[in-house]
Each structure stands twice: as C-alpha cells, then as structure tokens.
Structure 1
C-alpha cells in the first residue's frame, strides 16, 4: 500500500513514469534500497493502480537506443482514493516505520481525521506496554535465566517506549499544524 500511496502522491504533482519515480525515491536518501523497492515491484504497482482505475497511461516516449518510457497520470478516481489509502495506512500500521509514507504525504489528508487514528494507536500501544510489564512481573526468574529474561524485557520495553515517544511527538506536531 505504501508504494501505491507514493505513486499516487507523486502523480498529483504531474505526469511521470516508473523509472523516474524510482530514481527520485533514491535521492537524497536511498529509500528504494532501504525498502527493497525494485523496478519490477514498482511496475507491478503501476499495473495494479491502472487496473483499479486510479492511474492511466498517457503516452509512450520513444528514444533511440533506450527503452520506451510509459508516462502515467493520476485519474479523478485516483485523486479521490489517495486520502482513503493514507487513512487506511495509518489505521493498519503497527509502528511508526509503517507510517512513514503516510507522514510524507500528509498534505493529501485532513489532520483532524488522522489525529484520532493516531491517538487510538497510541492507546493500543500503551495497553501493550502495560500487558508486557504485567507479564514480566509474573515471570518466575531463577538465577540461570535472569540475565536473558532481563535482556528481553529491556529490549521490548525500550522499543515500546521509543514508539510511544515518536507517536506522541507526531500527534503533537499534527495538532500544532491543525491550529
């Protein structure tokens, strides 16, 4: 879904072709390599979006000694569906890293609609933190396993605390923008 949001968002800025979008994604930070985005995956998503009626091919650019470039444009249906895809991304995301593409394209959604989704995610994460702590408190730790159990507890506690921090920071920033 993130790749499709990226494609649709970029096409709201104007017509484009897959290879150029992949190249743009790698500059200045190589997000394509970080997310293991290959050209074949990108072309697959262009094809999927075309079948959904969210993008359409506009022209084919032919150049000597170069592969043809198929240029795409977003459709009215694509413009309409883009915010829904972003809202869905935030609803399904289990952590901040799964929200990054949605965060990059917040201009296509209403903060007033995203903030409650994020606040719900925050509450779920706080409940998870409490449950994890309760489980840890119930574990009988003998001396032979104490270090391992404490290590695992520390690892998960820090990860949850980090997610809470960044989610709270995101909500705060979005509330500041909203006002």
Structure 2
C-alpha cells in the first residue's frame, strides 16, 4: 500500500513513468534499496493503480534503441482516493517506520484526523504493553530461563519505550504544524 501512496503522491506533482520514479528513489539516498522496492514492484503497482482507475497512461515516449516508456497521470478518482490510502497507512502501521510514506504525504489529508488516529494507536499500544508487563508468570525457572526472560523483557521494554516516544513526537510535530 505504501508504494501505491508513493506513486499517487508523485503523480499529484506531475506525470511520470516507473523507471523515472525508480531513478528518483535511488538518488541521493538509495531509498529503493532500503525499502526493497524493485523496478518490477513499481511496474506491478502502476498496473494495479491503473486497473483501479486511479492512474492512466497519457503518452508513450519512444526512443531509438530503448524500450518505450509509458507515462502516467493521476485521475480524478486517484486524487480522491489518495487521502483514503494515506489514512489506511496510518491505521495499519505498527510503528513510525511503517508511517514514513504517510507522514511524507500528510499535506494531502486532514492533520486533525491523523492526530486522532495516532492518539488512538498510542492509547491502544500503551494498554497492550501494560497488559503484557502485568502478566505474572509464576512458573519455576532455572537460571538460563531467568536470564533469557531478563534479556527479552529488557529488549521489548526498550522497543516499547522507543515506539511510544516517537509516536508522541509525531503527534506533537503534527499538532504544531511542523509536518
């Protein structure tokens, strides 16, 4: 879904084709490699968006000794659907890492709705973590089991604290109009 939001947001700015987007993603930081986005994935999602009627081919660029390039533009339906796809990204995200594309395109949605979604996500995350931390396992453990338990509790506590901190920071930045 984030690839589709990325494509639609790029088409909000202007027409493009899959190979051009792939080039843009690899310079100056190889975002394509970091996100595991291949050219074939881009073509797949361009095709999926086209079948949904959210984008359409508008021209074909022909170059000698090169494959034809099919250029796409966003449709009215695509402009209408982009905010819904962004909201879905926020709803389905587990942490800030899953929200990068949505946050980068927050200008296409109502920030108050995003704040509401993130506050709900934060409340649910904290409640879930509280239930886990209050679980009382009284089964007998040997020293290695206790060491493993301490290691895992430390890891997951740090991870949880990190997630909570950055969700709170994202909410704060959005509320202040910084994103």
TM-score (norm 1): 0.95
Aligned to 1:134: 134
| 1:42-90 Cα deviation digits (max 9, x unpaired) | 0000000000000000111010111111100000000000001000110
The secondary structure found in structure 1 opposite 2:67 is coil
- Shift in Å, 1:34: 1.1
RMSD after superposition = 1.2
Where 1:59 maps in the other structure, the secondary structure is strand
- In the alignment, which residue of structure 2 is the partner of 1:124? 124
CA distance in 2 between counterparts of 1:72 and 1:95 reads 32
How many residue pairs match? The answer is: 177
What stretches of structure 2 of length at least 5 have no aligned partner? none
Structure 1 gaps of 5+ residues are none
Query: What per-residue deviation string (whole Å, max 9, x for no partner) do you get for residues 154-174 of structure 1?
Result: 111111110000000000000
Q: Distance between the aligned counterparts of 2:25 and 2:92, measured in 1? A: 23
* 1:131 to partner: Cα distance: 1.5
4+ residue runs over 4 A deviation: none
Q: Distance in 2 between matches of 1:121 and 1:139?
A: 31
The 3-state SS of whatever aligns with 1:81 is helix
With normalisation by structure 2, the TM-score equals 0.95
Q: CA deviation at 1:28?
A: 2.1
In the TM superposition, what are the counterparts of 1:11-90 in structure 2 within 5 Å?
A: 11-90=11-90
- Partners of 2:2 and 2:144 lie apart in 1 by 44
CA distance 1:139–1:31, change in 2 (3 Å): farther
